[in-house]
Amino acid sequence: MYSTLLTSLEDSILTITVNRPDKLNALNQQVMRDIDGVMDEVYSNKEIRSVIITGAGEKSFVAGADISEFVGLTSPQGLSLAKNGQDIFFKIENSPKPVIAAVNGFALGGGCELAMACHFRIASENAKFGQPEVTLGLIPGYGGTQRLTMLIGKGKAIELLLTGSMIDANTALQYRLVSYVVPQAELLQKARSILEVINSKPAHVITRCITAANAAFTGIKGYEVELFGFGECFSTEDMKEGTSAFLEKRKPVFKGQ
């Protein structure tokens, strides 16, 4: 169905693998169209509770936007390329279902931006992160200047943007760009085990948490989003069940309502 992605749905977790290993999974326009399409499916398919995005092979998550497609573009075409990429990555960031990046190697340029658009990141020990666009005479265009700054702070972000240098997985952990570093063989299992915990919670509460946390970074009034979301929870069966279960010292049985 998607010529550049592999997908598999198991236990309500959709694993999306960017599959151009000969080009280190670089994001050409077909990959971007496929990611756009699969995210529409994530939004609409009730069987999908959560998502892992990873890259094919053991060397690269995604080594950036496909540089060969930049050749000969005019300035308006460059802008429209970035706009399209930003919109697709907003779709990931604003997904009502959690999306984790399992970073299995190089996450450079658009690859780092893809990982940062996900809700959080787990890296294998060989992962490397960076925004090397400056080396190409460019700035990041798929949200990298914004999300890197939000995630690791202005000083470190600007240093990485201006030098174009890469950081290894343990440095990424120290910068809080990733939540965990694990051996490559354990990467997907680690992601799955976290998502199994998340999938056991009420789906609409998960969505509200994502929406409220995102609002802290979008200029929308995050505290108000939190306020109304919190209030709305009180009209749900799951909130009644969760609080009753705690008070009755038993495990809650959520129905997603």
Catalytic annotation, residues: 113, 133
The answer to whether 205 and 233 are in contact (CB under 8 A) is yes
C-alpha angle with apex 183: 178 to 184, nearest 5 degrees?
Answer: 90
Q: How far is the CB of 13 from ligand COA (least distance, A)?
A: 28
- The sheet with strand 167-168 has its strands ordered as 60-62, 106-108, 128-130, 167-168
Q: Is 164 exposed, middle or buried (0-12, 13-18, 19+ CB in 10 A)?
A: middle
Q: Quote the tokens at residue 25.
A: 């999974």
Nearer to ligand COA, 110 or 242 (CB): 110
For 91-157, give the DSSP string: HHHT-SS-EEEEE-SEEETHHHHHHHHSSEEEEETT-EEE-GGGGGT----SSHHHHHHHHH-HHHH
Task: Give residues in contact with ligand COA (CB under 6 A).
Answer: 23-24, 26, 63-68, 106, 108-110, 132-133, 136
